[in-house]
Amino acid sequence: MAVASILRRASSTVVPLALRVLRTQTSFYHSALLAPSSSRRLAQEFCRRVPSSWSCFSSTATKGEDARLLEVIKSEIKCAEESDYHDLKDEVPENFPFEIQDNPGEQTISLKRQYDDELITVEVHMPDLVTGEERDGGDDDGTDTERPGQSALTLVVNIAKGDGPCLEFCCSAYPDEVTIDSMSVKEQEASEEQLAYEGPDFSDLDENLQKAFHKYLELRGIKGSTTNFLHEYMINKDSREYLNWLKNLKKFVEK
């Protein structure tokens, strides 16, 4: 009997204590559920309505921004269509020595010609256009270290004879002048992992040897008259590619 009485007293003490601890550790959400019915209904209504309101707001805002983006793209297309370049027909000069391969959507064109027993291919990159704001005129001491105010084409010229080694020149084509930035002798079947010796920097070569290589390229069609036409051709191509890019962008946004 004494033992039973002790157990009853202990349980009557422990259970209220446990309930008090549980109440103090209950979260705000559980407190809301234990609140009066009016408060519970308010909390439930808030949980139901807030996500749907956010979803409607997000969807509406997205559609509005897409519509504004589409209007800007259409305006850009109109400006591009009214430019002086997009519809120009590139009339290749009669004495132009290369066959042009121009694939829409690419930022380079390829030139190709046969010269005696040599196959000459040229990869022409978009011009590095220089605006009036970039014409700084050189260093502070008045000397010109670069070519101020002149745009340039980048040319990669490959000259091959059969299956043997080939010469590769990287050139910059300015108005009426072509400069050689680098030159290397390469095996046509060489793996990209092979680090072959490519010779010294072109600017370190003997001056007479540099002049001889400039004449070598000139005889093969890499000269001022050729690159001046290519400069205009690539400016026109850049305008056409930009217009096509805008139209593809418009199709995507409209979907």
The CA distance from 231 to 173, in Å, is: 8
The per-residue pLDDT string of the chain (255 residues; one tens digit each, 9 = 90 and over) reads: 444 444 344 444 444 444 343 344 444 334 444 444 544 555 455 445 545 544 555 677 778 888 899 999 999 998 888 876 555 567 899 899 999 999 999 999 999 999 999 999 999 998 877 655 554 544 555 444 456 567 899 999 999 998 888 999 999 999 888 999 999 998 877 666 666 677 889 999 999 999 999 999 999 999 999 999 999 899 889 988 999 999 999 999 988
* Structure-token match 């008259």, residue found: 225
Full-model pTM: 0.67
Q: How much is the pLDDT for 127? A: 85
166 to each of 68, 81, 116, how far by Cα in Å? 53, 43, 15
The sign one gets for the Cα dihedral 163, 167, 170, 176 is negative
The answer to whether the beta carbons of residues 6 and 13 sit under 8 Å apart is no
Q: How much is the pLDDT for 26? A: 41
Q: How much is the pLDDT for 244? A: 92
Q: How much is the pLDDT for 66? A: 84
For residue 139 the two structure tokens come to: 């260093």
**Spatial CB neighbours of 34, under 8 Å, sequence gap ≥ 6:** 26
For residue 134 the two structure tokens come to: 């970039």
Tell me how many degrees the CA angle 171-176-182 measures, rounded to the nearest 5. Answer: 15
The answer to whether the beta carbons of residues 178 and 224 sit under 8 Å apart is yes
3-state helix, strand, coil in the chain (%, to 5): 50, 20, 30
Q: How much is the pLDDT for 7? A: 39
Alpha-helical segments (H) within 101-223: 207-219
The CA distance from 230 to 152, in Å, is: 10
234 to each of 90, 145, 151, 167, 169, how far by Cα in Å? 10, 26, 12, 25, 20
Burial class (CB in 10 A: 0-12, 13-18, 19+), 183: buried
Q: How much is the pLDDT for 25? A: 42
Produce one character per residue of 205-229: b if its CB has 16 or more CB atoms within 10 Å, e if not: beeeebeeebeebeebbbbeebbbb
R_g of the chain, CA atoms, integer Å: 37
Burial class (CB in 10 A: 0-12, 13-18, 19+), 189: exposed
